[in-house]
Amino acid sequence: MTELWQQQAGELAAAIRSKAVSSVELLEVYLARIDRYNPRFNAVVTVDADGARRAASAADDAVVRGDDLGPLHGLPITVKDALETAGMRSTGGAEELREHVPEEDAPAVARVKAAGAIVLGKTNVPKWSGDSQTYNELFGVTRNPWDDSRSPGGSSGGPAVSVACGLTAFEIGTDIGGSIRMPAHFTGICGHKPSFGIVPSRGYLDHVGGGLTEADINVVGPLARGVADLELLLGVLAGADGDHATGWRLALPPSLPGTRLGVWLDDPGCAVDAEVLAILEAAVGRLEADGAEIDDDSRPVDFEESMRVFFALVASAISPGLPDEIIDLARSVEDVPEETDEDPFVVMGRGTVMRHREWILVDERRELLRRQWAAWFTGHDALLCPVGPVAAPPLSNENILSRKMIVNGIERPANDLICWPGLIGVAYLPSTVVPVGRTARGLPVGIQVVGPYLGDRTALGVAGRLEQLVGGYVPPSLLETT
């Protein structure tokens, strides 16, 4: 029998509505698991147990009264510490915001609360969500529950571990360079990066004074133990915000059949480890055996050009949170001729300090890529591609600029972890990650299912099909031995 903590959010919400379980009972399960597992994995960094207990008790009273209940009614959850949460410490992983307690929720947090969810705590992030592993000077390092010497990814590492370990019903994360998708891949859970712009991302703390505007490429999206939960949560999170809500309405198109699938599992621009590649190929084989038409020669856009555009634009987007010494270093490569440049660090350096005219010209290159993607999707329902070149790498004390990883026996920059996510994110496309297998070391491997712009339901539909074929979420191995 599936234990309560393993169940998906939709199942738990139904159980609360039917009085099969109470919100208070479910909350105590999560709080007990936080007490048990958090000292080892360090996913949850702030807990408001008393406030959550009061809210859970009120939620149970509402069920007894027969009140109208939201789709997430009574579900205790954690929220990424990069998202402002009213009345609860929200730091963005930065010393500068050590005592920051917002008066208002980020819109995404407000929406899940309005649907009935109860925020019991916040989860760990790297400072300003700016790393592919999860560490900051305030709260320390978050560890992977499949192997605690390895990274759970970043920047939503704390959120992913909270979901994987059953410390929460679901999570709300953010993704500018794979920050939902990479941790989902590394920890064996499901995550959805929505089409850019359909979920409000205000309230995102990526620098002091941040949260008032929306960063380019960045999105807010759900992490959960199943694809059905991702669909449920997207329905709660998506929609016009602020001034737009006065006259705009979001109407996502229905899912395409998901039978015409492109496959792009490897590329010289970011080679994938052979063991990971074999797992991805096996997952594609299951879809083909299930009746999907597979185009395994798919190259919708040029990988190298996509990387140049992505690294320039993501560097510009994250630049407000970079320290002065990094900005000074970036200026040292500002005048490197672009036509001779193939180094992503140089591209990022230039992007960090580029003038607005230069940004406009790079944005035009992005628009050309987006048109190429749109043309490709006229003949395909979805694309299958890697989340990253490796499964969860070992934790490292090196910073992101000097950190390395091993791919097919060759040392590569750890920054390559964001290449495959960046390929998709820079074009504003939706992507669902679902676990499809494990390596010989027992580390999870996920795959990206990418839909056309605003084709979120197609990405989710194909991911749900894969989940049925390969089995989906299983509890991390270290939970059985701690």
The residues that are catalytic are: 80, 155, 179
Neighbouring-strand partners of residue 83: 204
As a three-state string, the secondary structure of the chain is CCCHHHCCHHHHHHHHHCCCCCHHHHHHHHHHHHHHHHHHHCCEEEECHHHHHHHHHHHHHHHHHCCCCCCCCCCEEEEECCECECCECCCCCCHHHCCCCCCCCCHHHHHHHHCCCEEEEEECCCHHHCCCCCEECCCEECCECCECCECCCCCCHHHHHHHHCCCCCCEEEEECCCCCHHHHHHHCCEEEECCCCCCCCCCECCCCCCCCCCCCCCEEEEEECCHHHHHHHHHHHCCCCHHHHHCCCCCCCCCCCCCEEEECCCCHHHCCCHHHHHHHHHHHHHHHHCCCEEECCCCCCCHHHHHHHHHHHHHHHHHHHCCHHHHHHHHCCCCCCHHHCCCHHHHHHHHHCCCHHHHHHHHHHHHHHHHHHHHHHCCCCEEEEECCCCCCCECCCCCCCCCEEEECCEEEEHHHHHHHHHHHHCCCCCEEEEEEEECCCCCEEEEEEECCCCCHHHHHHHHHHHHHHHCCCCCCHHHHCC
Q: What CA–CA distance (Å, rounded) separates 92 from 214?
A: 15
Angle between helices 324-331 and 344-352 (to 10 degrees): 110
Cα separations in angstroms, 432 against 11, 172, 387, 401: 20, 14, 10, 28
